[in-house]
């Protein structure tokens, strides 16, 4: 009887020990699977850097605050780094392979960039317009005039005009307008700031003076400026933006993915919606073909 009790106790002990062993074994397997699944998940969402060189006007308009998150949500495999400079400098970054994709607004220069082999292709993305803003007092009396007549009056009056002076798309457009007006701007009244669009607007507001700006940046900063829209609506103030993947960029796949997305129905919808709620109108108009 005692032997049978002892045997039963040993058997129960063995069963308990086997049960514990099985539990710990399963826990270990579960932990191993969890670690492996976590590693795979982390690897799946690990994003590669994508360098976008674009204009200060696009940055200062606030568009990238909605555009970049929307792209990254659609393509979590990429993390976008924006370098906001003038179009001329953005094109140089592309030539030097220091950027993967460009979003700029000097079409003739962009087409030359692609023709020279620095970019794989160029596509229209969106447009808005340039305007001339200045102090409410309007010392040169340009309000409502065609843009060429306005520039002539600013020059004749020697009224302060703040130029980007940085070979940006806006500066390129400004120089073309002075050429149309048959004027070579020079003198104390003509300030070449060498700054981005937002900074030039602040300088013009504080001076005060006139400045050529894209409408989107002005509207985004309007509440901080003592400037009014004085000249607008001229056909020569049209402002087109284009996207260009850089040839042999460090992240060619990402560059092409961004270019394809921004001209897609999804990307164009983000652009069309930006500004409507806050300003009652879009700040950019998508026009990808």
- The confidence band for 31, taking pLDDT boundaries of 50, 70 and 90, is very low
- The confidence band for 283, taking pLDDT boundaries of 50, 70 and 90, is very high
- The confidence band for 168, taking pLDDT boundaries of 50, 70 and 90, is very high
User: 260 versus 42: which is more confidently predicted?
Assistant: 260
Cα separation, 184 vs 58, whole angstroms: 28
Model pLDDT for residues 85-128, shown as the tens digit of each residue: 999 999 999 999 999 999 999 999 999 999 999 999 999 999 99
Q: What is the mean pLDDT of residues 140-160?
A: 98
CB-facing half-sphere around the CA of 79: CA atoms within 13 A = 5
User: 37 versus 121: which is more confidently predicted?
Assistant: 121
What's the pLDDT at 46? 85
Q: Quick check: 222 pLDDT over 50?
A: yes
Q: Quick check: 29 pLDDT over 60?
A: no
Q: What is the mean pLDDT of residues 20-45?
A: 48
- Select from 121, 136, 66 the least CA-distant residue to 249: 121
Cα separation, 288 vs 284, whole angstroms: 12
pTM of the model: 0.82
H or E segment to which residue 231 belongs: strand 228-231
CB-facing half-sphere around the CA of 203: CA atoms within 13 A = 20
Number of C-beta neighbours around residue 128 at 10 A: 23
What's the pLDDT at 17? 47
Q: What is the mean pLDDT of residues 116-141?
A: 98
Q: What is the mean pLDDT of residues 236-255?
A: 98
For the chain, how long is the longest CA-to-CA vector? 124
- For residue 225, what are the CA distances in angstroms to 136, 200, 214? 11, 11, 15
- The confidence band for 44, taking pLDDT boundaries of 50, 70 and 90, is low
Q: Quick check: 40 pLDDT over 90?
A: no
Q: Quick check: 33 pLDDT over 80?
A: no
What's the pLDDT at 185? 98
Q: Quick check: 18 pLDDT over 90?
A: no
Q: Quick check: 26 pLDDT over 80?
A: no
């Amino acid at each position: 009887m005692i032997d049978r009790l002892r045997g039963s106790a040993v058997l129960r002990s063995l069963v308990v020990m086997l049960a514990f062993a099985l539990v710990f074994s399963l826990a270990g397997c579960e932990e191993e699977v969890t670690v492996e699944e976590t590693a795979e998940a982390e690897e799946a969402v690990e994003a590669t850097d994508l360098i976008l060189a674009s204009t200060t006007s696009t940055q200062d308009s606030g568009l990238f605050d909605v555009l970049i998150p929307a792209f990254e949500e659609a393509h979590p495999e990429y993390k976008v780094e924006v370098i906001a400079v003038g179009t001329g400098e953005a094109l140089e970054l592309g030539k030097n392979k220091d950027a993967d994709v460009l979003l700029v607004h000097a079409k003739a220069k962009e087409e030359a960039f692609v023709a020279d082999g620095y970019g794989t292709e160029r596509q229209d993305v969106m447009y808005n317009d340039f305007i001339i803003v200045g102090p409410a007092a309007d010392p040169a009396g340009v309000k409502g005039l065609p843009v060429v007549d306005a520039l002539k009056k600013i020059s004749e009056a020697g009224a302060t005009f703040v130029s980007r002076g940085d070979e940006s798309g806006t500066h390129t457009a400004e120089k073309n307008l002075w050429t149309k007006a048959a004027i070579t701007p020079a003198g104390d009244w003509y300030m070449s700031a060498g700054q981005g669009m937002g900074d030039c607007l602040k300088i013009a507001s504080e001076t005060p003076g006139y400045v050529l700006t894209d409408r989107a940046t002005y509207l985004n900063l309007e509440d901080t400026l003592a400037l009014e829209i004085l000249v607008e609506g001229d056909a020569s103030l049209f402002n087109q933006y284009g996207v260009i993947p850089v040839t042999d960029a460090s992240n060619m796949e990402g560059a092409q993915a961004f270019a394809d997305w921004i001209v897609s129905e999804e990307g164009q919808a983000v652009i069309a919606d930006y500004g409507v709620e806050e300003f009652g109108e879009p700040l950019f108009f998508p026009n990808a073909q």
